[in-house]
Structure 1
Amino acid sequence: MPAQVHHITHPLVQHKLTLMRNKEASSTTFRTLLGELAMLMAYEVTRDTPTQLVEIETPLEKMMSPMIDGKKLVFASILRAGNGMLDGLLRVVPSARIGHVGLYRDPQTLQAVEYFYKMPGDLTERDVIAVDPMLATGHSAVAALTRLKADKPRSLKFLCLLAAPEGLKTLTAAHPDVPIYTAAIDRELNDHGYILPGLGDAGDRIFGTK
């Protein structure tokens, strides 16, 4: 894998992902596990967030201590499944701003079509993490990152649960400067663009739809 791909192999992450893959997991269980996984993965994807020293006063004395530098972080949810990861991410970074990128995949071409885009202001001074549980063909992720780059964020990353080799190849070719964080790199895509062995359609399992 290219150096920009970060495979998060922590045992807790892998254990919870296995529970999510089980077809018998209910929507409630699936949503709960997704939130827990997003929370755990947030520690990895924010590991290199810039900090600055500020002066504070403890109960005993004054000291210089690190705090996150710059304007508040932005989680950019790629609709609709990306929303399932927000609660877990916000437990770790409750002050983060939230943006949305609305995309759907054309069933014939498998290409991403944009229908909604809303971000906080001043992205040039903010670090943005785009989130979507699945990186399958990679077309939606490429389109979302291309759209986000037009607003010139201070930095940009992509966070997902599962990635297919095809999607990683597409995304790294289109955006070689964007780090990718994933809990699993699965075997392949099937003829319908679904990840194998995968976990099914993440959006349907989150929201209980078909």
Structure 2
Amino acid sequence: MEGVTIVDHPLVQHKLTLIRDKTISTKSFRELLKEIGMLLCYEVTRDLPLTDVEVETPLARMHSAKIAGKKLVFVPVLRAGVTFVDGMLDLVPTARVAHIGLYREPHSFVAVEYFFKSPSDLHERLAIVVSPVLATANTAVAAVDRLKERGAKDIRLVCLLAAPEGVERFRGLHPDVRLWTAGIDEGLDANAFILPGLGDAGDRAYGTR
């Protein structure tokens, strides 16, 4: 599918299987979410531009590659997106973090915003939106809409798991935003949960119902 990357690395797929298991503890779910976030961060930043710099090792001077000053902002969708981003920040600790609070209205499935805070220079940064699941895509679409309203021009989306319906809707509305995910499942149930999925990521990450 154009603009969509399924990360099929064995470690990602192994951890995705573990996190689906309904018997794992809240602690284990959070740990796995963070670990998968770190692994997906490798993929979504794979094409960052590099520049050649001179460094001095203990033995000699040499030229070596360094990221060419690309400024990043991670944008987790609250709640579970925060744990997902923790793994990414372990790799890119200098990145800024924006927060967007969105919840899905349980009957209409419309995304309702309750919080938004971001750096003022979004137009200068690569914004990586982090949402654990892409089900109806309403939440992801709303997050990207908001970022574009604030001036973001270079946006990517990372999610742990997606439904075909969500991928199709998101790409239809934001064809300029590429998507990375660990898997695309069968579809949605009557309550717009992904099947077979992994349940409510926020509830499982924080032990709520």
State TM-score, norm by structure 1. 0.95
Counterpart in the other structure of 2:60? 61
Moved more, 58-67 or 161-170: 58-67
CA distance in 2, matches of 1:122, 1:9: 34
Counterpart in the other structure of 1:164? 163
Moved more, 158-167 or 146-155: 146-155
1:99 aligns with 2:91: no
Query: Structure 2 matches for 1:1-210, cutoff 5 A?
Result: 1=1, 3-210=2-209
CA distance in 1, matches of 2:119, 2:192: 32
1:9-66 CA distances to partner (integer Å, 9 max, x unpaired)?
1111011110110110110111111111111111101001122222322223333322
Percent identical among aligned pairs is: 55
8 Å contact 1:70–1:125 — kept in the other structure? no
Give 1:152 shift.
2.8
Can you give the 5+ residue segments of structure 2 that lack an aligned partner in the other structure? none
Moved more, 16-25 or 88-97: 88-97
8 Å contact 1:76–1:131 — kept in the other structure? yes
State how many pairs are aligned: 209
8 Å contact 1:136–1:195 — kept in the other structure? yes
Give 1:184 shift.
0.7
1:62-115 CA distances to partner (integer Å, 9 max, x unpaired)?
333222223531110111121120211111111111110111111121111111
Give 1:154 shift.
4.7
Q: Structure 1 segments of 4 or more deviating over 6 A? A: none
Aligned partner of residue 106 in structure 2, secondary structure: coil
CA distance in 2, matches of 1:143, 1:53: 38
CA RMSD after TM alignment: 1.2
State TM-score, norm by structure 2. 0.96
Aligned partner of residue 199 in structure 1, secondary structure: coil
